[in-house]
Amino acid sequence: MEIEVEGKSIEEAIQEGLKKLGVSKDQVDVKILNEGSTGLFGLMGTKPACVRLSIKGSNADLSLTQTRAKEVLIDLFKLMNIKYSEINTALLTGRVYVNVKSDDSRFIIGKNGNSLEALDHILNLILHKDEKTRTKVSLDVEGYRKQQESRLQTIAMKAAEEVKQTGKPYRFDPMPSDERRLIHMFLKNDPSVESVSEGEGRFRKIVLLPRKKADAASS
């Protein structure tokens, strides 16, 4: 089981990854994908550090993980007094995907997906306590995250086109690290623009730059 995460520094990225996996540093192998860089005057052109964390000797039983994920969610929903109609699981690229159908979907998702992200984190923390279920589980509600991914891709493509036409930087609104990672992924092979990050914490955002300006800012 492995994940890729980014941060302002390598250590920040590692800590973010450990938090997502719910494990300690001695339980993972770390591969540095990008050391990151500080842009012009420490403001423009900042590139995030990116690392890949792999759980050592992971022997997760994916079938058992699917069953346990459903059981944990049922217990959590009872405690939270949340009604649901279905909890479906599937295997996607080596990880367990869980989608919940519920009339309380808005409450589960929360503003900008914050409640869903928190519930996802709690679910993974519980499952990672047992080596047999220690693998990444992605929690979704009514396909919200899949819809968000499609929406982000559309926004990224439109922003890139605007940068190409105007030659001016485009700043996204601040967004969670998972959404920033998707934007970077969608645009990484575009030869005309480059995505960089600026800001800190919940104010961290992505800036798109014309490739020539991005290269100059990074030098």
Rounded to whole angstroms, the Cα distance separating 120 from 136 reads 10
Which residues lie across from 140 on neighbouring strands?
A: 99
What are the extents of the domains in the chain?
A: 2-57+146-218, 62-142
The CATH topology of domain 62-142 is: GMP Synthetase; Chain A, domain 3 (3.30.300)
CB atoms inside a 10 Å sphere around CB 13: 27
Write down the pLDDT at residue 58.
61
pTM strictly above 0.75: no
Rounded to whole angstroms, the Cα distance separating 116 from 147 reads 14
Which of 104-108's residues contact partners 24+ apart within 8 Å by CB, and which partners? 105/141, 105/142, 105/144, 107/82, 108/82, 108/141
Hey, what CATH class is 2-57+146-218 in? alpha beta
pLDDT interval class at 115 (50, 70, 90): very high
In one-letter notation, the amino acid at residue 185 is M
* Token representation of residue 174: 């601040």
